[in-house]
A and B are shown apart, each in its own frame.
Chain A
Amino acid sequence: MRPEDVETVRSLVHARSGVVIDPGKTYQIETRLAPVARRAGFASLPDLVQAIRVQRDEKLMWAATEALTSNETCFFRDRVPFAQFREEMLPELVAGRGERPIRIWSAACATGQEPYSLAMIIDDERAKLHGARIELFGSDISERSLEKAQSGLYTQFEVQRGLPIRLLVRHFEKADEMWALSPRVRQMVRWRRINLLADLRGLGQFDVIFCRNVISGFDEPTRRRVLDQLARALPDDGRLVLGFDETVSGVTDALTPVAGRRGVYAPTPARIAA
């Protein structure tokens, strides 16, 4: 790809999703855009970029953005946040919520492994939930990722990454060469296409938001904007779970780290007082 084509693509993705693509990653851009070009009937990547530049075709621009922002994910990624959810967050929420439904949001969840990991935990812990109503939401910017997530179908490679074998046996069935998640767990998650750059106020509040390994792809102003929006979507005792390598430090004062819980943040009390 010519440098000007790379720049066109980088500008497009940043404007649409807030994600900053390293200009040195030309190979990655080419690899990810090649299927988009093929599906849209373009003979080459420069032809695709030219069409984006000249025609400003919305569908094409979103397809390119989605292809370049899709995140790698796996079931129970990094293990620890899910153990904390099972052992600490969920029991506390059940004890403190009364009749109100518990609302959990897996934001920018790509192909759904994160919300389904949470759903499997909730299903396994059902006996301890004392009938608590739990609403679990999964969202992503990518329509294609959400379609795959909703299908609940995963490859052998995908189910082997992070999913303990006993959970595979309990929650999946073999479907030809794929593994199909049980309808019971699939139906626990509600899906919605959400761009984190959009105004999120209409979504209501969530007791726990998982937004792991997402903000690290944004530039700092976008990171601040997204984190401030997520903070506003949390009640006073809500929790935001970020990736291990992600921090709010130096970005926003709206969130405060929870002591001893790497990657877990609470709304800052000052914000509440204000």
Chain B
Amino acid sequence: MIKRLQQGQEAAFQILVKQYQSRLMAIAWGITLDHEESLEIVQDVFFNVYRNINEFRGDAGLMTWMRKITVNLCLNWKRRWKRRFKWHHVSLDSGDTLSSKEENASPESHYLNLEMEKNIMAHVARLPEKIRTVFILKTVEDMSYEAIAQMLNIKPGTVSSRLYHARKSLAGALKREAS
């Protein structure tokens, strides 16, 4: 695959996009919570791979490399500034698409699940970006503390603290809402 990518074969890039786009999109959207921006970021990640594939040494996996580019692009200061302006109008409305698990659930439980998710995502959006990034990398990609620490250039202890902080904030917010 990498050889074909290094030869610049378009078909290889198409396979690469199909294989990894939803994973990268999940990370990008998890951090930015902005659909258009996430699309742009994921596109840029693939374009970066296209441009620099000859420099790819292969000592880390392709996904590790792309994940790192995705996070770096999400945390790019220019994008962060733009995002701050847009955040006043952020909409976390999710459509009514059902995941395969929920297709068999009753309409009531599906509605409740959707509401819960909507609420929790609204609270995730309110988490500080540093904490949200760590939380998303752990929940979506199930990365180890060490891997997250290495990627973000922080200590594993900081990763642990941020994850705890995220959970505590989300649990507190949900509890306040319920009461």
The answer to whether A and B belong to the same complex is: no
